[in-house]
Amino acid sequence: MDKNIRTLKKTLLIAVAMFGFAYALIPLYGFICDITGLNGKTGRLDKEQALATMLDESRKITVRFDATLNANLPWEFKPMQTKMVVSPGEIGQMAYFAKNTTSSNMVGQAVPSVVPSKAAKYFNKTECFCFSNQPLAPHESKEMPLRFIIDPDLPKDVTEITLSYTFFEMNKKVAMTK
């Protein structure tokens, strides 16, 4: 009987430790991504911060735009232009197009990724459709603006950046608000 109780205690301790480890992974993952630039997390600036950034006209950076849909989201999604050349400190503006191809209200959320990953912390958005959920009514389409600025401290060896968005379906029960 004592052997069974010891085994039960060990099993429960292992289960609690596994739960604690899994719970700790969520903030740990975000922390590691912020430090290393993994997962392409980009910065976010307000309008005043962007306007205060110094322009470096001696450099040109090619920014490529990409769009992907999660397999569960039956939408059309694409960048309105596939590339743009900007100088660090210059505000870039473009838009993405999304269309709900179903007969149902749907809500999507875009998740950004930047390549090369070392450029992610220098790529700052001042306006982005990725900041919030995007509700679309049946067969509705819309252009979604993106405004960004590349920090002049971007390493000199980076001359090309790819900004990619993957759109995911959010809970279908999310209220459609306009």
Instruction: Report the relative pairing of strands 43-44 and 91-100 from DSSP bridges.
Output: unpaired
Band of the pLDDT at 12, cuts 50, 70, 90?
confident
Dihedral pair phi/psi, residue 24, rounded to 5°: -75, -20
Question: What percent of the chain is helix, strand and coil (3-state, nearest 5)?
Answer: 30, 40, 30
Read off the pLDDT of residues 85-108 as tens digits, 9 standing for 90 and up: 999 999 999 999 999 999 999 999
Residue 177 clears pLDDT 80, i.e. is over it: no
Residue 48 clears pLDDT 70, i.e. is over it: no
Q: What is the pLDDT of residue 175?
A: 47
**pLDDT mean over 22-43:** 58
CB 109 within 8 A of CB 98: no
* High-pLDDT (> 90) share of the chain, %: 47
Read off the pLDDT of residues 137-171 as tens digits, 9 standing for 90 and up: 999 999 999 999 999 999 999 999 999 999 898 86
Q: How far apart are CA 114 and CA 132, in angstroms?
A: 19
Average pLDDT, the chain: 83
Band of the pLDDT at 41, cuts 50, 70, 90?
low
C-alpha dihedral sign at 152, 153, 157, 163: negative
